[in-house]
Structure 1
Amino acid sequence: MVMTVANAPVSYGVFGLARPDRVPLPSGERLLDLVRRAGYQGIDSGASGLLGTGTALVDALDARGLRLCGGWVDFPFAGTEGAFAEACERARPLLDDLALAADAQGGPLPVPTLADAGSDLRRAHPGGGPDLELDPRSWSVLVDRVERVAEEVRERGLEPTFHHHASTYVETPREIERLLNDTSVGLTLDTGHLVLGGGDPVACLSRWRGRINHVHLKDVDRSVLTGAAGSAHPIRDVWEKRVFVALGRGDLDVPGFMDELAATGYGGWVVVEQDVVMLDPGDVDRAAADQIANREALRRWIP
């Protein structure tokens, strides 16, 4: 099967931890142009409306020969019913756009990427641990809500995936195993977040290969995570200190992971994500150069 490579707005500083007070962020149009020029085949939607909506989104992608690979949607799966209902309402326009793009673009379909929204407690303790896990009752609520959202996705003709993520209730390998055992959703294996949660990407790829339907590829500098121990704001600190680096410059065995991924017969999207917080105007050019280098680093597996 053939893998398809995409990039994401987070690689250019456009995500929840952004600092537009320090550096103006690129527009949706600019992001599309940067991703196309770097040689990627697709792009993640980012926040709903970032790249446009409806037919305007489809036209903007088509004009650049890009496909939509997916879109991030997080939910307070362990929160109140009211907060969860509000998140579902906010998510529906993005899910509708993903379905519209799927009908228009052909080829590999976009994959709606579900995630837990986490909590202040988890954000204060990145990496997780058994004492931070949900109790059985709260976990049951999470599972039920994941399945409810998954059904909404499938009603639109798409297949959902679940993204384990730092500082959420699905973070560690143990929590990921629990989710896979108790739900029907596929898994986004994110190499960077897996390392942050204490996992080995190559070993976990082999273990979960039957459920992985989306891949986010990140390289990680573990020393940044270690240096954030005791910080009052550990998540912001590790992101701003560039815990995610260009492929081949961190602790991830990129060739080993990609060789194993190819050996599994994986044929979905490989989304390069190098989350970066822009703190200096020079970071804009640096981010663009890193994404070109990242694309070239993958030519061996995805020409």
Structure 2
Amino acid sequence: MIRIANAPVSYGVFELARPDLVALPEGEELARWISEAGYQGIDLGPVGLLGRGADLTDRLQRYGLELAGGWIDLPFAGTGDEFERALAGLDGILDVLVAAAETGPVLAPLPTLADSGSAERKARPGGAPKLTLRGDDWARFADRVNITTARVRDRGLEPTFHHHACTYVETPEEVDALLETTDVGLTFDSGHLLIGGGDPLPDYRRWRDRINHLHLKDARTQILREALQTDDPMRSVWEKRVFVPLGEGDLAVTELVDEIIDSGYDGWLIVEQDVVPRSATEVEQAKAEQIANRDALRKWFA
């Protein structure tokens, strides 16, 4: 079974947002918009945005939505103290996800682990061989992923790991290393894979047995090349709209969705289109584009 979700980041609600320029939608608006667009689930977004405990479950039920997942980035490549401090806060996020899972959804939410990256990685979206962790540095990284994975499973949830731009799991080589040295499932993100130099169709086929979460996202890689020439490449990637509506970028959407279905994938497919709205008009544009993205998938998922 494949169920279709969307996420607050598609409306500009994430760490690169510009609330100094435009008011962003609150949890109630997001839940309503995503439900009205025809999605079955929603990603958690910033903890508390959609509420906690009964407030969260009530909001989801009123809009006929289920919680698809929740973002949890940790400094897997950081110092020991940095990692331990971050790990200590894990249970607070898992409490929210466990409570949502206990309401008996069709598909349980997946805690979506990711690396926090570093200043060096944020200055070079797309990655570079000299930035790849190797040897003892990678072994330490993988050990920390395994520790975190075990903590999540101890709470009765199954984790997934998101390869992501500007982090230490970004390129296909780095995804391969993650899969070889851990047993965590993979969040396959087609847009971030394009940024990291991957090829979504053959890479999906290669990793399909480990993929337990999907982020369907289109991207224009030319924007990445332009962003690398700026003083703040990471922000430039997002503000120049590297992520675009399905079918408007470099992703072979039809071929990839056909492959996903043929592979027998069972789980959440979260449509994401990270944007940084800078005006009320751009918030409305984001809302319209998520309706269009859902409509683009109706030939597969009515």
Same fold (TM over 0.5): yes
Letter in 1 for 2:44: S
CA contact (8 A) 1:49 1:94 kept: no
Partner of 1:290: 289
Task: Work out the CA distance in 1 between the residues paired with 2:141 and 2:226.
Answer: 32
Q: Could you tell me how far 1:223 is from its partner in structure 2?
A: 1.8
Task: Work out the CA distance in 1 between the residues paired with 2:252 and 2:86.
Answer: 36
Mapping for residues 261-280 of structure 1, pairs under 5 Å: 261-280=260-279
Partner of 1:230: 229
Letter in 2 for 1:70: G
Partner of 1:17: 16
Task: Work out the CA distance in 2 between the residues paired with 1:138 and 1:226.
Answer: 28
Task: Work out the CA distance in 2 between the residues paired with 1:70 and 1:245.
Answer: 22
3-state SS in 2 of match to 1:214: strand
3-state SS in 2 of match to 1:114: strand
Q: Could you tell me how far 1:4 is from its partner in structure 2?
A: 0.4
> How many residues are matched?
302
Is 1:189 aligned to 2:201, yes or no?
A: no
Task: Work out the CA distance in 2 between the residues paired with 1:138 and 1:17.
Answer: 28
Task: Work out the CA distance in 1 between the residues paired with 2:48 and 2:210.
Answer: 29
After TM superposition, what 4+ stretches of structure 1 lie above 4 angstroms from structure 2? none
Partner of 1:250: 249
Moved more, 267-276 or 99-108: 99-108
Q: Deviations over 1:235-256 (max 9, x none)?
A: 1011001100011111111001
CA contact (8 A) 2:125 2:228 kept: no
Task: Work out the CA distance in 2 between the residues paired with 1:229 and 1:284.
Answer: 26
Letter in 2 for 1:19: R
Q: Could you tell me how far 1:90 is from its partner in structure 2?
A: 2.5
Task: Work out the CA distance in 1 between the residues paired with 2:244 and 2:41.
Answer: 21
Partner of 1:299: 298
Mapping for residues 1-150 of structure 1, pairs under 5 Å: 2-150=1-149
Moved more, 81-90 or 277-286: 81-90
Partner of 1:206: 205
Q: Deviations over 1:78-120 (max 9, x none)?
A: 1012211221233321111111111103211101100000000
Task: Work out the CA distance in 2 between the residues paired with 1:219 and 1:116.
Answer: 22
Task: Work out the CA distance in 1 between the residues paired with 2:97 and 2:129.
Answer: 36
Task: Work out the CA distance in 2 between the residues paired with 1:84 and 1:234.
Answer: 26
CA contact (8 A) 1:111 1:161 kept: yes
Task: Work out the CA distance in 2 between the residues paired with 1:216 and 1:276.
Answer: 15
Q: Deviations over 1:194-236 (max 9, x none)?
A: 0000000111110000000000011111221121232110110
Task: Work out the CA distance in 2 between the residues paired with 1:46 and 1:246.
Answer: 20
Task: Work out the CA distance in 1 between the residues paired with 2:187 and 2:228.
Answer: 27
Task: Work out the CA distance in 2 between the residues paired with 1:90 and 1:231.
Answer: 34
CA contact (8 A) 1:70 1:112 kept: yes
Moved more, 69-78 or 141-150: 141-150
Structure 2: 5+ residue stretches without partners = none
Moved more, 124-133 or 110-119: 124-133
Task: Work out the CA distance in 2 between the residues paired with 1:291 and 1:229.
Answer: 28
Letter in 2 for 1:277: V
3-state SS in 2 of match to 1:159: coil
CA contact (8 A) 1:113 1:188 kept: yes
Q: Could you tell me how far 1:176 is from its partner in structure 2?
A: 0.2
3-state SS in 2 of match to 1:32: helix
Moved more, 288-297 or 82-91: 82-91
Q: How many percent identity over aligned positions?
A: 55
Q: Deviations over 1:155-206 (max 9, x none)?
A: 1111100000011110000000000000010000000000000000111110
Q: TM-score, normalised by structure 2?
A: 0.98
Go from structure 1 to structure 2 and tell me whether the alpha carbon gap of 1:240 and 1:279 turns closer, same or farther (over 3 Å shift): same
Q: Could you tell me how far 1:290 is from its partner in structure 2?
A: 0.3
